[in-house]
Amino acid sequence: MIFCSDNYSTRPQSITLSSNLKTLLLLVIFFSLTGCGNNESNVSSGNKTGTLYWGNGTEPQSLDPQIATGVPEHHIISAVMEGLVLKNRKTLEPVPGVAESWDITENGRVYTFTLRDNARWSNGDPHVAQDYVWSWWRALQPALGNLYAYMLFPIENAQQYYEGDISDFNEVGVKALDDRTLQVTLNYPTPYFLQLLDHYSLFPVHQATIEKFGTADQRGTRWTYEGNLVGNGPFQLVDWKINRRIVVQSNPYYWDADNVSLKEIVFIPIENIVTEERMFRAGQLHVTSSLPADKISVYREAKDPELKIAPYLGTYYYRLNVKKPQFQDPRVRRALAMSVDRQRLVDNITKGGQIPAYAMTPPGTMGYYPKSNLKFDPEGARRLLAEAGYPDGKGFPATEILYNTNEGHRKVAVALQEMWKKNLNIDIRLLNQEWKVYLDSESAGEYEISRAGWIGDYVDPNNFLDLFLCGGGNNRTGWCNEEYDRLILDVAPSMSSHKERLEVFQQAETMLLNEMPIIPIYTYTSVQLVDSSVKNFDANIMNAASYKDIYLQPDQE
């Protein structure tokens, strides 16, 4: 019985199966044919509709400006929100944003901002000075877990409030004098304060929206999602599909809406930069976030005008753990730094137009060009090493370079390993660890030499030099010099002129280079592909695009 019934059931099924297969094959062929050749690329359709397709690295973790960290988040937030002050897209000089003007008292400590009469939130609500007081109060709530709270610390009593030393926010130096006037008092004159206002951690947030979806200091509420987010920037969020795209469209309530040319920006999260490059070639992107290192030379040789390489405010360097016996002697640290042929490294290994770095602060940071006595000098390096007790590298203890797993970092480490062997005759081993393990090892001081990079939050030498204060969270080398701390914390802020201040930084930098707890290697560059139809896209050292200025105009063929 069973056999019979099964036999009956198989027959029609096998026939259906094979006919299904045929249908499927036909369908596949059909779709292949319909997909052929007749698609208009994103770039050419976007150029007609005013839609910019932007390769944006990873999926953003959060669009809350007081929670977010990271470059992809920065791009989107700077399209939908705006601070009191903007930056000139070429020179990065402060230009009016929500504030149409500001006055600074002679002692450089009190800033009075006048807000624009026509400043509005993207839902039409009036945008007033009180919004900043509330937003900055929120930014300083420890429960919110704001990693950039320190950006507000130049404001009087902000740090004391954040650390719980004072509990009354009225004592913090930010006051709304009326709807259009905001007064900010600083601890001491801070020349880069206006720049900080263009950092998203100081952007205003819309109180009513945040309170609608949770309490002010609650993380992870849904206020930043499509349909909920209310911002004050040139664009507004209209769509957020996880791992697929984030779409923003021009905001009619924006104070300068008439001068915003783009109608829409589509941010596409693409983790794989090889895929991103292919998408660019297929016309699916106007701008990429990066370019694979081995493709850079191909584009360079072809003199492709779409390749944009620009200096970037960041330093690639190696930390030396001064707690380890072999690195307690500054001469050993100097010797290692002097035997690195940086020019050869950037020409042959990294190949992205990086600039050899002989100091921690990138040259040209707020007019600061660090003087350095560091140079490639293998002869001198050998002499120093011998003086320190390791003639011709003899007896040098086993030493490892720790780096996080990444092909680029590996290549640099291999190159340095080889240079140190050749120039100093010391054997260095390589140790790669997965990102979070590497972070753990580095913070715990369980390394001898460790790869590091620092990208500036604002353009000022302070942002690079205050990394190495005694016990600072980002120091991690174990190096501590009280005189250095005094220069950075007390002397530089008390200087009355910019020039004098830079001189103090130069002193500190020289001290750092003489003691060499770190080996500067190169200044980063930003490497991107930009379609020729994208206009007003000017590379700057912050790699920050000004979306309100960009317009699309295909070249005439």
Note the residues at the interface with another protein (CB under 8 A): 2-3, 6, 10-11, 14-15, 18, 21, 24-25, 28, 31-32, 34-37, 39, 58-59, 61-62, 64, 67, 69, 142-147, 149-150, 162-163, 219-222, 224-225, 241-244, 268, 270-272, 274-275, 278-279, 281-282, 284, 434-437, 439-441, 443, 453, 472-474, 476
Residue 38: CB minimum distance to another protein, A:
9
Distance, in Å, from the CA atom of 246 to the CA atom of 243, rounded to the nearest integer, reads: 9
Question: Whats the size of the chain, residue-wise?
Answer: 557
Residue 432: CB minimum distance to another protein, A:
14
* Cα→Cα distances 158→106, 153, 202, 379, Å: 22, 5, 13, 51
Asked if 78 and 547 touch (Cβ cutoff 8 Å), the reply is: yes
Q: Which is nearer to another protein, 146 or 232 (CB)?
A: 146
Q: Which is nearer to another protein, 302 or 437 (CB)?
A: 437
Residues 6 or more apart whose CB falls under 8 angstroms from that of 278 comprise none
Q: Which is nearer to another protein, 2 or 325 (CB)?
A: 2
Q: Which is nearer to another protein, 242 or 497 (CB)?
A: 242
Residue 128: CB minimum distance to another protein, A:
27
Q: Which is nearer to another protein, 240 or 537 (CB)?
A: 240
Q: Which is nearer to another protein, 119 or 270 (CB)?
A: 270
Put residue 483 in one of left, alpha, beta given phi > 0 → left and psi -120 to 50 → alpha: alpha
Distance, in Å, from the CA atom of 43 to the CA atom of 288, rounded to the nearest integer, reads: 12
Asked if 521 and 317 touch (Cβ cutoff 8 Å), the reply is: yes
Residue 42: CB minimum distance to another protein, A:
8
Residue 52: CB minimum distance to another protein, A:
16
Q: Burial, 231: exposed, middle or buried (Cβ in 10 Å; 0-12, 13-18, 19+)? A: buried
Q: Which is nearer to another protein, 177 or 437 (CB)?
A: 437
Residue 441: CB minimum distance to another protein, A:
8
Residue 549: CB minimum distance to another protein, A:
28
Collapsing DSSP to helix, strand or coil, 515 comes out as: helix
Q: Which is nearer to another protein, 294 or 434 (CB)?
A: 434
Distance, in Å, from the CA atom of 310 to the CA atom of 528, rounded to the nearest integer, reads: 9
Q: Which is nearer to another protein, 147 or 414 (CB)?
A: 147
Place of tokens 């930014």: 139
Q: Burial, 154: exposed, middle or buried (Cβ in 10 Å; 0-12, 13-18, 19+)? A: buried
Q: Which is nearer to another protein, 146 or 326 (CB)?
A: 146
Asked if 535 and 551 touch (Cβ cutoff 8 Å), the reply is: yes
Quickly count: other Cβ atoms within 10 Å of residue 10's Cβ.
Answer: 11
Instruction: List phi, psi (to 5°) of 96.
Output: -60, 140
Q: Closest Cα to residue 150, out of 378, 410, 463, 382? A: 463
Residue 16: CB minimum distance to another protein, A:
11
Residue 551: CB minimum distance to another protein, A:
24
Residue 275: CB minimum distance to another protein, A:
5
Place of tokens 């919110």: 144
β partners of residue 451: 318
Q: Closest Cα to residue 298, out of 282, 274, 317? A: 274
Q: How crowded is the C-beta side of 4, counted as CA atoms within 13 Å?
A: 1
Instruction: List phi, psi (to 5°) of 111.
Output: -110, 130
Apex CA 489: angle with CA 452 and CA 149, to 5°?
65
- Measured in Å, how far apart are the chain's first and last C-alpha atoms? 77
Residue 116: CB minimum distance to another protein, A:
31
Both tokens of 110, joined, read 């009190």
Q: Which is nearer to another protein, 219 or 344 (CB)?
A: 219
Residue 539: CB minimum distance to another protein, A:
24
Q: Which is nearer to another protein, 142 or 252 (CB)?
A: 142
Both tokens of 395, joined, read 């007896």
